[in-house]
Amino acid sequence: MTRIENEMQYNSAMLRINQLLKVVDDKTPEDDILSVELVLLSNLVADYEDEHYPVEKPTLVEVLKLRMYEMGLSQCALASLLDMNQSKVSEILSGKSEPTLKQARIISQKLDISPAIVLGV
């Protein structure tokens, strides 16, 4: 098999991967037949999922809300951390406004968010 062609093959591969995960661990040699099978099937599944179940890049709003949750920040605390007024933060979080380049740089640096996500590229 050079690739997974349909959902039935995908489901069968996933079932086999789950079986292999029960017997293959970190101590299993890389050249062990079950370990090789696990790697090959995992690569086939990853290729199939990339094609049929693509994961979209998160939006700035999604990442900001996640980071706020992770850091335990309220909208007011976020505004203070970013040295921005609350109305601007509210506009960004609601998707009504985009940050300026200066604000994007601050968001990226202070919240450790990729500049590509902040700039939407």
Residues of the chain with CATH 1.10.260.40: 60-119
Summarised one tens digit per residue, pLDDT across range 15-51 is: 999 999 999 998 999 999 999 999 999 999 999 999 9
Instruction: Find the range with the poorest average confidence among 7-16, 52-61, 85-94.
Output: 52-61
pLDDT digits (tens, 9 = 90+) for 6-18: 999 999 999 999 9
Residues 97-102 have a mean pLDDT of 93
Topology adopted by domain 60-119: 434 Repressor (Amino-terminal Domain) (1.10.260)
Residue 57, Cβ density class (10 Å: 0-12 exposed, 13-18 middle, ≥19 buried): exposed
Q: How many CB atoms lie within 10 A of CB 40?
A: 12
